[in-house]
């Protein structure tokens, strides 16, 4: 039995997370250095970059066509943003973000963690790439499937979320359901009554991680219910963080970013991206999920729809990608 997972657009959770990351980056990097646009990269092993290799052996027309196919757009960058919070070394959330500074828009696509991928010659869920080789292998795997480069990576330890909530002295939040859950293996206990509460970091993290109660009750739909709670809570965090009373806490926010974010972007790059993201604004940031269907034990990407999504939102090249550029396992 298969189940189609349609693209979900305009996710407040993703928008707010991304803006907070870039805003913190701008504050952190802007205080230390000048703004500088990142460099653009190519797909690993791209023959168009091998001047003395295969390209030089092709007829002139074919060589020029190949190089043209790999010509980059100006001011267009791809960044893989991953979040870890499970304590087991896995990336719980993976979003490939396209920043199109020239046209003033940002688009992020969620990559389901159970997506089928070929890693080290064997079939795995794509989340295994992070466990096997960190962000470098995960980025290579994503790039290989979608036929586009991953220019940079950002790894966020979501414990930083907990630290941020503490830094703003907690958040008033309406807990939407009774929560009664225990996981002895993780040492996790979540016990809250439905209603308004003032939540500090540790409790806030429990609320947004909650899926269902010990008896299976709860939201009724684990993922949709948890997503809505995360969206609502992050709206509350963003509203409280961006108040005049918190202007004197910029240094605290900078320290949180420094402690909980790992990236191969330089401080100059982060400052530039933060400035661009703030200028672009939330109305020009959109999100979806790679189009797919479920057939145990994997999620399979829809090749035609994925190609269309890549060309519409994620492609950093001037020319459209073609089916041969993608490498999606069936």
- pLDDT tens for 101-121 read 999 999 988 888 889 999 999
Ranges of beta strands (E only) in 179-231 are: 179-183, 188-192, 195-199
Q: Are the CB atoms for 43 and 143 separated by under 8 Å?
A: yes
The pair of structure tokens assigned to 285 is 């940031």
Query: What value does the mean pLDDT of the chain take?
Result: 81
The share of the chain scoring above pLDDT 90, in percent, equals 40
Quick check: helix, strand or coil at residue 267? helix
Average pLDDT on 37-44 reads 76
Q: What is the pLDDT of residue 87?
A: 54
Burial category of 244 from C-beta neighbours within 10 Å (exposed 0-12, middle 13-18, buried 19 and up) = exposed
C-alpha 117/C-alpha 301 separation (Å) is 10
**Which pLDDT score, from 0 to 100, does residue 174 have?**
96
**Strand-by-strand arrangement of the 261-263 sheet:** 261-263, 152-157, 76-84, 93-100, 105-110, 285-289
CB–CB of 257/28 below 8 Å?
A: yes
* Per-residue pLDDT reduced to its tens digit, 65-105: 777 788 999 999 999 988 776 555 567 678 899 999 999 99
pLDDT given for residue 255 in this prediction: 80
Q: Where does 120-200 have alpha helices with state H?
A: 128-146, 159-167
pLDDT band at 320 (very low <50, low <70, confident <90, very high): very high
Q: Which of 3-7, 54-58, 324-328 has the lowest mean pLDDT?
A: 3-7
């Amino acid at each position: 039995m298969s189940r189609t997972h349609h693209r979900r657009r305009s996710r407040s959770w993703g928008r707010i997370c991304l803006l907070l990351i870039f805003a913190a980056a701008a504050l952190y990097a802007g205080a230390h250095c000048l703004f500088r646009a990142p460099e653009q990269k190519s797909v690993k092993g791209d023959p168009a970059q091998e001047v003395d290799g295969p390209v030089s052996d092709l007829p002139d027309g074919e060589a020029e066509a190949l190089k043209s196919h790999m010509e980059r757009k100006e001011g267009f960058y791809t960044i893989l943003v991953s979040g870890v919070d499970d304590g087991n070394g896995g990336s719980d959330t993976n979003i490939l973000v396209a920043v199109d500074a020239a046209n003033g828009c940002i688009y992020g696509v969620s990559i389901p963690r159970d997506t089928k991928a070929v890693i080290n010659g064997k079939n795995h869920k794509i989340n295994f790439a992070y466990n096997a080789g960190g962000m470098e292998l995960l980025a290579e795997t994503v790039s290989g499937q979608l036929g586009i480069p991953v220019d940079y990576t950002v790894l966020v330890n979501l414990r930083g979320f907990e630290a941020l909530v503490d830094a703003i002295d907690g958040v008033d939040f309406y807990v939407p359901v009774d929560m009664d859950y225990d996981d002895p293996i993780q040492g996790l206990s979540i016990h809250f009554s439905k209603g308004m509460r003032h939540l500090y970091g540790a409790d806030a993290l429990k609320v947004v991680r909650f899926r269902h109660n010990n008896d299976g009750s709860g939201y009724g739909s684990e993922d949709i219910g948890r997503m809505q709670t995360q969206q609502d809570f992050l709206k509350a965090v963003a509203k409280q963080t961006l108040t005049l009373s918190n202007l004197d806490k910029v240094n605290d926010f900078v320290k949180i970013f420094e402690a909980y974010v790992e990236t191969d972007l330089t401080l100059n790059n982060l400052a530039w991206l933060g400035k661009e993201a703030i200028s672009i604004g939330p109305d020009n940031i959109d999100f979806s999920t790679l189009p797919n269907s479920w057939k145990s034990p994997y999620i399979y990407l829809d090749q035609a729809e994925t190609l269309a999504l890549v060309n519409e939102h994620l492609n950093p090249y001037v020319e459209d990608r073609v089916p041969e550029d993608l490498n999606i396992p069936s």
